[in-house]
Every structure is written in structure tokens, then in C-alpha cells.
Chains A and B, each alone.
Chain A
Amino acid sequence: DTAVSQTPKYLVTQMGNDKSIKCEQNLGHDTMYWYKQDSKKFLKIMFSYNNKELIINETVPNRFSPKSPDKAHLNLHINSLELGDSAVYFCASSRTVHGYTFGSGTRLTVV
């Protein structure tokens, strides 16, 4: 199946921990993204990478560090997790004129 897949689907962790979310796309897209959906369901971009190069960093705290080992992967590492980091994180990929494809999301709960 051609898709954007992200793991894990659910992540429950304690404050102060470090965690990672992985994302892979097999669509041949050259740009990948992380979006955050907050408790009010509003979706906002965090990062975008084009061909492994960081293009957009939307004033996200530096506890969040994306890493793109190749065009098909974009992982999100979060240090020193805080309660306010609880949200759903979506990975997406695109080739501009073809629109965006989103993963199924990772629900992060910090307790």
C-alpha cells in the first residue's frame, strides 16, 4: 500500500521523558512535514523537510527535534516532555501540485 505511516499510534509517557515518533512515506514525495493537532482540533504546521533539508520551523520549542535520514523518513524526537505537549501529531508528505497525504496520527499523552 502506498501511504504515509507513523508509529506509534498511541504514546503515554511521564513528564520529563524523551520520546520519538517515526514516519515513513513510500509515495516518492520529496517534502515531509510534522503537524500538531491541539485539544481544540486545530491543525498547525511544526516542521517541513525537503530532500532531507529543513525548510520550515514554525517557532517550535527546541525540545522538538526533527530528523530526516533520507527523503522517505522524517522522525520527531521530543526531549523533556511537558503536559502541554499532549496532542495528536500528524506526519504528512507532498509533491506540491499533487496535494498532501497524511499519516493516521500519533496521540501523545503526557501524564
Chain B
Amino acid sequence: KQEVTQIPAALSVPEGENLVLNCSFTDSAIYNLQWFRQDPGKGLTSLLLIQSSQREQTSGRLNASLDKSSGRSTLYIAASQPGDSATYLCAVNAEYGNKLVFGAGTILRVKS
């Protein structure tokens, strides 16, 4: 059974810091891994999608890496801004079962 763990559970940083959010998963048989952002009371916004054959994806100040064999992904946020404050969710798309399995999320607060 696939399990996804995100560390840390919460993070508070001053504006301008670079930061890393971690995600680990127990079963390496995945199609892809997706990072989402969720603002309070809102839906999920897709940030980055990494296919199982890829090592990383970049979008603006965000960079996500994937090490499928070790069951790890990291989301790197450069030069953090208060607008980055949100919950960040990691989800893996299992190779069998065609469903997303989510981690519990990292609550990020960027202080101005």
C-alpha cells in the first residue's frame, strides 16, 4: 500500500529565504508525482508534474526533483515571498490503480 510522507509538517521562514519541502513515498512503482498548492478554503492548484522517467521539473522560482528508486521528491522554492504562504501537497500517481495518493502536506508561512 502506497504511503506518502511530507516533512516538515509546518515551516515558517522570513521573506527571501530559499527553502526545501520534502516528500517520500513507500512504493516506487509510480507513473508520476505532482506537487500542488492549496490556499486556505480554496481548491488545489497544480504546481509541477514530474513523470517517472524525469529527474526534475522547473517553473519560475519552483524546482521539483524526483528520485524514484529511493522514493523521494523535493520541492525547492527560491527567494520565498509572503504570497507563497499556503499548504503544499505532494501526491504520487500509482502505476497500478490510477489514483493519486496524497501526503498530509506542509503548511508554509513566509513572513514579510
A interface, CB within 8 angstroms of B: 31, 33, 35, 40-45, 48, 50, 55-56, 90, 92, 94, 96-105, 107
A56 touches B44 (CB 8 A): no
Nearest residue, chain B, Cβ from A42: B104
Q: How many residues of B contact A (CB 8 A)?
A: 23
The answer to whether residues A41 and B87 also contact, given A55-B98, A56-B97, A96-B98 and a CB cut-off of 8 A, is: yes
- Interface of B, secondary structure class, is strand
CB of B30 to closest CB in A, whole Å: 11
Q: Is the CB–CB distance between A99 and B49 below 8 Å? A: yes
Nearest neighbor of A40 in chain B, beta-carbon distance: B104
A44 to B101, CA, bound (A): 7
**Pairs across A and B, CB under 8 Å, 17 listed:** A31-B98, A35-B100, A40-B104, A41-B105, A42-B102, A42-B104, A43-B100, A48-B99, A90-B44, A97-B51, A99-B32, A99-B34, A99-B46, A99-B49, A100-B93, A102-B36, A104-B42
